[in-house]
Structure 1
Amino acid sequence: MDESVRRAMARLPNVPDLYGWLHLDRRGRWFVNGERITHPRILAFMARNYAVDDRGCWFFQNGPQRGYVSLEYTPLILRVDSAGDLITHTGFPVTTIHRICLDEQGSLVADTPLGAGVIDDHDLAWALSRLRHGDDPADDTAIADALALPGGTATSLWFTFAGDSVEVGRVDADALPAALSFVREPSAS
């Protein structure tokens, strides 16, 4: 978090939180009241001051005011950068994946130390190249079999990342927030 934000919070500790005005879509684009934010300096400021509270609600700390974020899917969107490294939509490197979930549509969601993030579908080839079925690359049949499983079950797939192999579990999209401890629609109550 920026030092200027910390100072503003100390000066004005009782500014009310905002709900329902900030939205993060599945591509990692920010919207304020339906209008897309595109200014690079604003986006960089938001990236540095984006965090999660004890309830699993994600927010942008804008000076002394906390604006809670409505999430279209997950709090983070994971992308492969030009160097081939996995990063969050906020620009932070992902170095560890604790768990991988496969939803009913074939999206892969990683549980990382930074939070839960869906792997951007633009990086699907990168993600598929890391799926394994036993000692072999996962083929279409193995992936189809995993997708056919009910939510909440283990698959026979593994995801290789940073020298580790992580078991892939089938989790329905609606169950992801509970499974990975985040809230899609924060509220004051």
Structure 2
Amino acid sequence: MDWCLMDEQVLRSLIKWPNVPHCFGWLVLDRRGQWRMRDEFSQANQLAGNVIRHTTLNEYISRNYAHDSLGRYFFQNGPQRVFITLDATPFIARIIPSASGPELLTQCGTEIKPQGVLSDEKGNIYITGLFQQTFSDQVDSAVFTKTESLSVALLHDHDLDLFSEQSQVNEDACSFRGFWQWKGNQLPIEPIHSRELAHRFNFIKAPSE
């Protein structure tokens, strides 16, 4: 999937309607990289919401996925900024086979350049490294910059077995460390507590007004 900085129609609408109110709580990125819609009933009862199945809509959200300097991730829907509740992390990683070897991609189809691995108290695996991201300028909300910056992605649970086959781990009562073999490189696996992730990688899991 090609990564677009922002849809042209989105940028035009921002210029035409610059003061449309933001939206909070209605869109979720779940642990499997699925976009979910949460209506008022789902929000009030803390339900997961409905998975968005429409392919074109999923692609549109992914192309217009961005973040601001506060660490809030959002989908720029025309002139409206729809802030996203994150079940885990801003990105979900998949190991995808290809003719040239496995690729490591986000839920948006963008490449991850891994630098290391973290494992939390529940055994979740997180890939850290450089991610292609779109950043919103805080002075002019119609200005977006494409960057390659440090972030983190929860590894999809369907890829844990493959990850384990490529890893060497030493586990005891106090630590979980080792190495992950990725394209000829040994990347360190280190422990982390899940509550540390948001602060360390500057993201807000549940943006609010």
TM range (shorter): 0.7 to 0.9
Quote how far apart the aligned CAs of 1:161 are: 2.6
Q: In the alignment, residue 93 of structure 1 is paired with which amino acid?
A: E
| TM-score w.r.t. length of structure 1 | 0.83
Distance 2:67 2:182 in 1: 25
1:34-87: per-residue Cα shift (whole Å, max 9, x none)?
A: 222110000010110111111111111101111000011111111122312111
Matched, 1:19 2:36: no
The root-mean-square deviation of aligned C-alpha atoms, in Å, is: 1.7
Distance 1:162 1:63 in 2: 39
Distance 1:104 1:166 in 2: 20
Any residues of structure 2 matched to 1:172-187 within 5 Å, and which?
172-187=193-208
Q: What's 1:124 paired with?
A: 160
Q: What's 2:148 paired with?
A: none
Q: In the alignment, residue 187 of structure 2 is paired with which amino acid?
A: V
Matched-pair contact (CA < 8 Å) for 1:149–1:170: no
Any residues of structure 2 matched to 1:137-148 within 5 Å, and which?
138=169, 142=170, 144-145=171-172, 148=173
Any residues of structure 2 matched to 1:83-122 within 5 Å, and which?
83=98, 84-94=102-112, 96-114=113-131, 115-122=151-158
Tell me, which stretches of 5 or more residues in structure 1 are unaligned? Answer: 133-137
Judging by fraction of residues, say which structure has more helix.
1
Matched-pair contact (CA < 8 Å) for 1:111–1:180: no
Query: CA distance change for structure 1 residues 7 and 162 in 2, over 3 Å: closer, same or farther?
Result: farther
Distance 2:34 2:200 in 1: 24
Matched, 1:5 2:10: yes
Matched-pair contact (CA < 8 Å) for 2:10–2:78: yes
Greater Cα shift, 168-177 or 66-75: 168-177
Judging by fraction of residues, say which structure has more strand.
2
Query: CA distance change for structure 1 residues 163 and 53 in 2, over 3 Å: closer, same or farther?
Result: farther
Tell me, which stretches of 5 or more residues in structure 2 are unaligned? Answer: 1-5, 39-48, 132-150
The number of residue pairs the alignment matches comes to 172
Secondary structure of the corresponding residue to residue 206 of structure 2? coil
Matched-pair contact (CA < 8 Å) for 1:23–1:31: yes
> After the TM superposition, which parts of structure 1 deviate over 6 Å for at least 4 consecutive aligned residues?
none
1:110-143: per-residue Cα shift (whole Å, max 9, x none)?
A: 12322321111100122113323xxxxx3xxx2x
Quote how far apart the aligned CAs of 1:156 are: 3.8
Percent sequence identity over matched residues? 33
1:62 aligned residue (77, 81, 86): 77
